[in-house]
A = this chain, B = another copy of it.
Amino acid sequence: MLTRELIVETAMQLADADGIDKMSMRRLATELDCGVMSLYHYVADKDALIEALVDQVASEVAPPAADTPWREAAQELAAATLAAQLNHPWVISIWSMTWPGPHRFALIERLLEALAQADLPADIADLGFHALTNHIQGFAQQRLAFGQLEAQADETAGRVAAIMGSDEFPRVIDHIAFHQHDETDRDEFRFTLDLILDGLERHAS
């Protein structure tokens, strides 16, 4: 028996396994052992299916408890959102481009609530909201890009070697070294996150 839930679930598996590009309606139908057009009885079109997928990812983020201090709540939300996105890397490049579903709206609401508890001027809170979400988005995208590079190790090795061999961009070379010998991923995320939160706190009224 075909259901919308089953379709979304199977589509998620396909996307997680091979990326959103390879999640085609045809492959999905094959996987579900049904005709392609049968899917369209449960899903308006592919975009609607993808919206459902994105909100499914959002549903994996557990919002912080209601009595969590605002700064911790923001940190938890940011970390959990990042984790969910990295768990489904295909979502990163479309997350901010899709209209939020109910679960994502709940996350947005929760973050706005945390900021409301921070005693910031209203406009600073709104600006801070975007500062935080943009940071999550930008960082996730950067991590995704790095992941892609590692996935195509052969091609990347040659390109890195080309840069290291030239003397045009010495500071880039130094920066690459910074990336090659450290495990500061999580700290890097927290570093900028704290930079923003510190800055916001300084605007508290």
Contact = CB atoms under 8 A, between A and B. Distances in A.
Interface residues of A, number: 52
A171 B116 contact: yes
Interface stretch (A3-11, A22-30, A54-62, A196-204): A196-204
Given A93-B93, A172-B108, A141 B137 contact: yes
5 contacts: A99-B159, A105-B168, A105-B169, A131-B135, A134-B134
How many copies of this chain does one complex carry? 2
Interface of A: 93, 96-97, 99, 102, 105-106, 108-109, 112-113, 116, 122-123, 126-127, 129-131, 133-139, 141-142, 144-145, 148-149, 156, 159, 163, 168-172, 174-175, 178, 184, 188, 191-192, 195-196, 198-200
A131 B93 CA distance: 18
A6 B195 CA distance: 45
A178 B112 contact: no
A9 B200 CA distance: 44
A109 B169 contact: yes
A109 B156 CA distance: 19
B188 A199 contact: no
Given A105-B163, A112-B171, A142 B133 contact: yes
